[in-house]
């Protein structure tokens, strides 16, 4: 995948639609400079790469001035795409940007497809596939945590880890193949050496694969469903976390009748929080439907927040809810701690020994909510693992990494059972192939198309 020459030049508006102070129209490809020169009139006769120039975009055919702009010419290969590239900084009006784009198209450029600038950057070897995917993550980031992780992946830290493991395995494979081809001269690697290299890489790749769990939460949001019996303080908890009165709170049991979903930023982690109708035995038709929706919210969630009321005892309703969420990981939040003592909670918590953690909170005063948000943060971030790994793998990368681990586990068995070296070579080859797909050293066109289809036009 390196230095493919594209014979066409692409153009697109790279800034979002709508009015803005400035907007950018970009051109990339071998005719980018010529096309730009045919539209632009500035004071400089000769363009210096990377030097911004003030001037005007003109529609020569109609002898019309289109906009006053700043144009920056970039020279291949040191550009975003690796090709000759032009950025026209114009005024941020949809009319102006469209006119400039149309002039570029009339001048011989083709409208870029989604993500085509980044796709060219990848195909021209300016970045690997994990970096290209990080560009997408960075654009999509909604919290600071997401953007920082995407940036470390964009810097190539994440890809570097994969590449190191791949390189290790390639060296091992070459050594094994040499041993097969020249048994007399090279011979087989000692059992201990083989085992050590395989085990080391297995551990490393497993750790990397496990970051895709965090990756999913950071990209798509962690889904939390707040459940509990009526009046436990679920809606108060939602409001307290949102810092505004989103849900109606009263002391009348059954106030919340429908599930309510809100997006929240918890220490830089996107969280989708659902407040639900209190769960209890009821004959009320509307309340019943609400409770069905609560069950649905539980099903959809990654973690359930089971809120119990510390101002009263553990009841049959609490027990019923515990059964309902049996299949889900959950936190036990003892609410209304302002009305009681910690001992009460210890007694109540005995009923839910499977809780991932138990925290006594007050949804009213906000007491101990920081303990809860800190727990969420460390759960998603898996300690500092993500920082060490230089980002988190996305689902595609995580799956490949897991498959590579599977192949390495088989390779370890092959070694352990003293099977022929040919088998070991096959196992290693399959692990290497999976890793090559992660960074894109060897990857099908279909995968590339899928990766870039998600991008917006102009990136």
Ligand X SMILES: Nc1nc2c(ncn2[C@@H]2O[C@H](COP(=O)(O)OP(=O)(O)O)[C@@H](O)[C@H]2O)c(=O)[nH]1
Residues near ligand X, by CB under 6 A: 228, 230-236, 249-251, 255-256, 278, 335-336, 338-339, 362-364
In DSSP notation, 358-421 reads EEE--TTT-TTHHHHHHHHHHHHHTTTHHHHHTS---HHHHHHHHHHHHHHHHHHHHHHTT--H
Whichever of 228 and 268 has its CB closer to ligand X, that residue is 228
Span from 48-56, 187-195, 203-211, 250-258 in contact with Mg ion (CB under 5 A) = 250-258
Which structure tokens are listed for 9?
């030049």
Stretch near Mg ion under the rule CB under 5 A, chosen from 51-59, 71-79, 251-259, 409-417: 251-259
Would you state the structure tokens that stand for residue 42, as one six-digit string?
Answer: 């500035």
For 258, other C-beta atoms within 10 Å of its C-beta total 12
Indicate which of ligand X, Mg ion, none lies near residue 230 (CB less than 5 to 8 Å, by partner kind): ligand X
Q: Are 85 and 121 in contact (CB under 8 A)?
A: no
- Which tokens belong to 104? 């570029």
Question: Which residues neighbour 373 within 8 Å (Cβ) at sequence distance 6 or greater?
Answer: 241, 266, 267
Q: From the CB of 357, what's the least distance to ligand X, in Å?
A: 18
- When CB distances to ligand X are compared, the closest residue is 233
* Nearest distance in Å: CB 314, ligand X: 15
| Token pair belonging to 432 | 């290497």
- Site size toward Mg ion (CB under 5 A) is 3
For residues 199 and 172, the answer to whether their CB atoms sit within 8 Å is no
Q: Which residue is nearest to Mg ion (CB)?
A: 256
Which is it for strands 330-335 and 64-74: parallel, antiparallel or unpaired? unpaired
Partner touching 204 among Mg ion, ligand X, none, CB below 5 to 8 Å by kind: none
Least distance in angstroms from the C-beta of 277 to ligand X: 8
Nearest approach in angstroms of CB 239 to ligand X is 7
- Alpha carbons 420 and 429: distance in angstroms, whole number: 15
By C-beta, is 256 or 392 nearer to Mg ion?
A: 256
* Residue 274: φ, ψ to 5°: -115, 125
Residue 354 CB, nearest approach to ligand X (Å): 22
Say how many CA atoms lie within 13 Å of 324 toward its Cβ: 26
Q: Which stretch binds Mg ion (CB under 5 A): 120-128, 232-240, 376-384, 408-416?
A: 232-240
The answer to the question of residue 161 lying near Mg ion (CB under 5 A) is no
Contacts of 183 (CB under 8 A, 6+ apart): none
* Three-state secondary structure string covering 233-295: CHHHHHHHHHCCCCCCCCCCCCCCCCCEEEEEEECCEEEEEEECCCCCCCCCHHHHHHHHHHH
Task: Name, in order, each residue with C-beta under 8 angstroms of 32's C-beta and a sequence gap of 6 or more.
Answer: 9, 83, 84, 85, 86, 109
Quick check: 14 binds Mg ion (CB under 5 A)? no
Give the interface segment with Mg ion, choosing from 7-15, 203-211, 227-235, 389-397 (CB under 5 A): 227-235
The stretch among 69-77, 85-93, 139-147, 254-262 that binds Mg ion (CB under 5 A) is 254-262
Q: Which does 391 bind (CB under 5 to 8 A by kind): ligand X, Mg ion, none?
A: none
CB 271 to ligand X: min, Å: 18
439 binds, options Mg ion, ligand X, none, Cβ within 5 to 8 A by partner type: none
Q: Are 412 and 195 within 8 A, CB to CB?
A: yes
Q: Please, what is the minimum distance in Å from the beta carbon of residue 341 to ligand X?
A: 14
C-beta of 319: minimal distance to ligand X in Å?
A: 17
Verify binding: residue 256, Mg ion, rule CB under 5 A.
yes
Which residue's CB is nearer to Mg ion, number 161 or number 276?
276
The interface partner of residue 274, options being ligand X, Mg ion, none and the CB cut-off 5 to 8 Å by kind, is: none
Q: Which is nearer to ligand X, 97 or 239 (CB)?
A: 239
Interaction partner, residue 231 (Mg ion, ligand X, none; CB < 5-8 Å by kind): ligand X
235 is an interface residue for Mg ion by CB under 5 A: yes
Burial environment of residue 267 by CB neighbours within 10 A (0 to 12, 13 to 18, 19 or more)? middle
Q: How far is the CB of 316 from ligand X (least distance, A)?
A: 17
CB under 5 to 8 A by kind: which of Mg ion, ligand X, none does 210 bind? none
Residues that bind Mg ion (CB under 5 A): 234-235, 256
């Amino acid at each position: 995948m390196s230095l493919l020459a594209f014979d066409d030049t692409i153009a697109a508006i790279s800034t979002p639609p709508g009015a803005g102070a400035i907007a950018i129209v970009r051109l990339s490809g071998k005719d980018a400079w010529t096309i730009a020169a045919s539209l632009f009139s500035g004071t400089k006769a000769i363009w210096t790469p990377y030097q911004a120039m003030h001037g005007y975009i003109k529609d020569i055919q109609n002898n019309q001035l289109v906009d006053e702009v700043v144009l920056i010419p970039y020279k291949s290969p040191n550009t975003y795409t690796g090709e000759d590239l032009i950025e026209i900084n114009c005024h941020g009006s949809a009319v102006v940007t469209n006119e400039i784009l149309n002039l570029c198209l009339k001048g011989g450029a083709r409208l870029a497809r989604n993500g085509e600038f980044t796709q060219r950057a990848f195909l021209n070897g300016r970045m690997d596939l994990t970096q290209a995917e990080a560009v997408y993550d960075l654009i999509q980031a909604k919290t600071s945590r997401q953007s920082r992780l995407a940036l470390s992946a964009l810097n190539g830290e994440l890809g570097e880890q994969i590449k190191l493991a791949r390189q290790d395995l390639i060296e091992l494979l070459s050594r094994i193949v040499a041993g097969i081809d020249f048994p007399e001269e090279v011979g087989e690697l000692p059992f201990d050496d083989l085992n050590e290299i395989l085990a080391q890489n297995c551990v490393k790749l497993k750790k990397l694969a496990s970051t895709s769990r965090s990756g999913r939460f950071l990209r798509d949001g962690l889904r939390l469903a707040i459940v509990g019996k009526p009046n436990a303080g679920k809606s108060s908890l939602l409001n307290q976390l949102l810092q505004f009165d989103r849900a109606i709170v009263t002391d009348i049991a059954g106030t919340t009748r429908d599930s309510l979903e809100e997006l929240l930023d918890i220490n830089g982690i996107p969280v989708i929080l659902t407040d639900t109708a209190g769960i209890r035995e009821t004959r009320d038709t509307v309340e019943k439907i609400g409770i069905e929706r609560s069950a649905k919210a539980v099903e959809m969630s990654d973690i359930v927040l089971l809120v119990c009321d510390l101002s009263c005892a553990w009841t049959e309703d609490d027990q019923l809810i515990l059964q309902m969420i049996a299949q889900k990981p959950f936190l036990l939040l003892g609410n209304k701690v302002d009305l009681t003592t910690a001992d009460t909670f210890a007694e109540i918590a005995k009923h839910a020994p499977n809780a991932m953690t138990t925290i006594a909170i007050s949804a009213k005063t906000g007491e101990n909510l920081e303990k809860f948000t800190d727990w969420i943060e460390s759960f998603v971030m898996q300690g500092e693992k993500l920082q060490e790994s230089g980002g988190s793998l996305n689902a595609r990368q995580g799956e490949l990494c897991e498959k590579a681990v599977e192949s390495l586990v088989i390779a370890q068995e092959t070694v352990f059972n003293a099977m022929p070296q040919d088998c070991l070579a096959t196992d290693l080859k399959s692990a290497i192939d999976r890793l090559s797909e992660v960074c894109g050293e060897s990857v099908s066109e279909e995968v590339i198309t899928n990766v870039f289809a998600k991008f917006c036009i102009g990136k």
